[in-house]
Amino acid sequence: MGYVLKAKKPNDPLLIVGNGLTANEKKLIRQYLEALRKLNLEVDDPDVIRRIMAEVLAGNPLSAANQVPWSGFTQSLAPIVTTMATQVAISANLNLTKLPSKIKYEAVFNLTDPRAIGWAQVRAGSTIRQVNEYSRQAVSKIIQDGLRSKLDPDQVQAAIKRVVGLDSRQATALENFYKKTIEDGTLKGLSYQSAVARAESLGVTYRNRLWSQRAERIARTELAEAANQGRFMSWMEADAQGLIPPNSKKRWMTAPDERTCPICRGMDGEIVDWEKDFSMGKLMPTAHPNCRCTAVLIPGEPSAVIEEKIPPTGEYEGYKLNQPRNATSSDRGQADVAANNLRDSARVSEPKITRDVIDLSKQHGGDMVGLEYRIKTQSSLAEKIQTTARDNATNVAVESRNMKDVIRYTMVKPEAGYVDMTNSVVRDLRSQGYKVTVINNWKPGSPYLGVNAQVISPTGQMFELQFHTPKSLVSKTKTHDLYKSIRNTRDPIIIDRIDKEMVEIAKSVPFPKGDVGTLGDPMPKIQK
């Protein structure tokens, strides 16, 4: 229960699911924390502190807060522009690969794209101004509080140093924590001085946590915003090529997990013209800090009149003469037929296989995830056959024979019982006459983690069975979408970055408990 991938929604590379951080988010967090550390050191400068305290003593909290070297802070935040621009470009490219085939085209946004950079400069500029402003307000508020409660100048000075870089809410939380920790200390019998020393040291830990929280919130929000901007840019680019059909719409999509916030739940599914604002007043998500929503394009349907002119299949040749089609669309016709055939024959053995797999997962404490998608849809199957035939320079007939995952299952178990479950299920399948070939991908540094079993049923039906931990499953969806995006990208910089990002995502996945080396123990010599 509760695994994030019970989603009833299509996977979307821009939809950030779960708690993991992307490589770009980590980078932006790092950049922000570096700027904070620098700001903190600058406030320690005797000249700076003298200027601040002169205003404090004159009773001017606002001017005192203005003496903090915010311009240096602004400068040291400058690198986030590049990170955000990168996100725009990566997202635009990813999205191009996601567009329906009739819209797809070959443009590539590179990482120095002036549109991406331009947007990132403006957006980062206003973000930095806001971060500055909130931080300045926090300092000024803490000084006001200090003056009001008649703290001595040393105490005010210490408080300023503590809260610089936090927002007002965080600064107040930290000051409350600080006071409470001193009180607790003296109640426990510590001398006032020891209680203060203790509060100072615990306060630093707490402050660091608040810094990280603020950094993470900014990184998540800004990069989600950048990702959506990239997506919208790719639509505009496609539109400039005349590829976006009239009447195209876009649909708001929230991340399908427990982190979906109440604000966005109300927006989920809203459909508007693709060039118009959503009802919350923006062209694209995000809606609020930490928002992980995105929007997808719904291409407009050709008008009914044109539809009626397309003759039924029997007269297809005639239509072709009037409207020359390229080889790809005739491949698609064959691929559609092949996909239907594959699905029809899969349905014969599927019910029994599904029952067997479910039984085994129950028996060994696994969770079946995405069971409703166990048979690939006609369109995704046809598309896969068509694109692999194109990529491998073969043909539809060859590739449809090679489709191993027309039926596929995913079994999930947390790290603790994972190794046992996987080995037991494989063993039991074999004893029931299934031929199982296990590909164990639990290798450190691999972008794909998990076990992937190719299985042939006693009736000869091939299927795929994946074994995941909840975290490797989340990582798989993310890296899979990234992987697909490389296929249509030729820019080596993007390929390299996406590659690194995939490995980075996978790195955060904890390995199962026990000996992963035993997973998929060698196949028995005698196989049925």
Helix 46-57 and helix 114-148: axis angle, to 10°? 50
Taking CB under 5 A as the binding criterion, the range among 280-288, 328-336, 351-359, 438-446 that sits at the site for Zn ion is 280-288
Strand 367-368 relative to strand 435-440, pairing: unpaired
For the CB of residue 292, give the shortest distance to Zn ion in the complex, in Å.
Answer: 6
**251 or 430, CB closer to Zn ion?**
251
Bridge partners for 439 per DSSP = 452
Tell me which residue has tokens 């490995």: 503
Residue type, 75: Q
The residue (of 289 and 433) whose beta carbon lies closer to Zn ion is: 289
Round to whole Å and give the CA distance between 210 and 188: 26
- Nearer Cβ to Zn ion (291/455): 291
Other Cβ atoms within 10 Å of 428 Cβ, number: 16
Segment interacting with Zn ion (CB under 5 A) among 1-9, 147-155, 256-264, 466-474: 256-264
Q: Which is nearer to Zn ion, 227 or 264 (CB)?
A: 264
CA distance 285 to 265: 13
Between the two ends of the chain, the Cα-to-Cα distance in Å is 36
- Which among 100-108, 260-268, 414-422, 456-464 is the span making contact with Zn ion, rule CB under 5 A? 260-268
Q: From the CB of 285, what's the least distance to Zn ion, in Å?
A: 6
Chain-centre distance of CA 471, in angstroms? 13
One-letter identity of residue 443: K
Q: Which is nearer to Zn ion, 259 or 484 (CB)?
A: 259
CB 469 within 8 A of CB 415: yes
Provide, rounded to whole angstroms, the least separation between the CB of residue 119 and Zn ion: 20
Smallest distance, Zn ion to C-beta of residue 217, A: 13
Q: Binding segment for Zn ion among 111-119, 258-266, 399-407, 512-520 (CB under 5 A)?
A: 258-266
CA pair distance 19, 471, nearest whole angstrom? 10
Nearer to Zn ion, 16 or 291 (CB): 291
519 CB burial (10 A radius; 0-12, 13-18, 19+): buried
Kindly state the smallest distance separating residue 268's Cβ from Zn ion, in Å: 9
Binding mask 286-315 for Zn ion (x = CB under 5 A): -x---x-x----------------------
Q: CB of 265: closest distance to Zn ion in angstroms? A: 9
Closer residue to Zn ion in complex, CB, 252/418: 252
Q: Which is nearer to Zn ion, 268 or 491 (CB)?
A: 268
Options 93-101, 261-269, 371-379, 481-489: segment touching Zn ion (CB under 5 A): 261-269
Among positions 497-526, residues that touch Zn ion (CB under 5 A) are: none
The least distance separating Zn ion from the CB of residue 17, rounded to whole angstroms, comes to 12
Listed residue (407, 421, 527) closest to 469, CA to CA: 421
Residue closer to Zn ion by CB (options 224, 238) is 224
The span from the CA of 119 to the CA of 84, in Å, is 9
Q: Closest separation between CB of residue 486 and Zn ion, Å?
A: 28
Reported as type and span, the H/E element at residue 456 is: strand 451-456
d(CA 46, CA 409): 65
Residue with smaller CB distance to Zn ion, 218 or 375: 218
Smallest separation (angstroms) from Zn ion to the CB of 254: 6
- Compare residues 68 and 267 and give the one whose CB is closer to Zn ion: 267
Backbone dihedral region of 64: left (phi > 0), alpha (psi from -120 to 50 degrees) or beta?
alpha
Structure-token pair, residue 182: 């001193």
CB of 277 to Zn ion, least distance (A): 16
Cβ neighbors of 208 (< 8 A, separation 6 or more) are none
Nearest to Zn ion of 52, 223 (CB atom):
223
Backbone angles phi, psi at 324, to 5 degrees: -55, 135
**Token pair belonging to 322:** 């009037």
**Binding residues with Zn ion: total (CB under 5 A):** 4
Query: How far is Cα 475 from Cα 2, in angstroms, rounded to an integer?
Result: 16
Contact 330, 338 (CB under 8 A): no
Question: Is 16 a binder of Zn ion (CB under 5 A)?
Answer: no
What is d(CA 429, CA 409) in angstroms, rounded to the nearest whole number? Answer: 14
Hey, is 324 helix, strand or coil? coil
| Stretch near Zn ion under the rule CB under 5 A, chosen from 28-36, 166-174, 263-271, 513-521 | 263-271
CB 228, min distance to Zn ion, A: 10
| Span near Zn ion by CB under 5 A; candidates 259-267, 391-399, 502-510, 514-522 | 259-267
Nearer to Zn ion, 226 or 291 (CB): 291
- Give the shortest CB-308-to-Zn ion separation in angstroms: 41
Q: Does 264 bind Zn ion (CB under 5 A)?
A: yes
CA distance 392 to 474: 29
Q: Which residue is nearest to Zn ion (CB)?
A: 264
Question: What are the structure tokens assigned to 519, written together?
Answer: 């997973």
Provide, rounded to whole angstroms, the least separation between the CB of residue 212 and Zn ion.
22
- Among the listed ranges 27-35, 81-89, 221-229, 281-289, the one in contact with Zn ion (CB under 5 A) is 281-289
Nearest to 86 by CA among 52, 112, 60, 118: 112
Q: Does 15 bind Zn ion (CB under 5 A)?
A: no
Phi, psi of 172 (to 5 degrees): -65, -45
List of residues contacting Zn ion (CB under 5 A): 264, 287, 291, 293
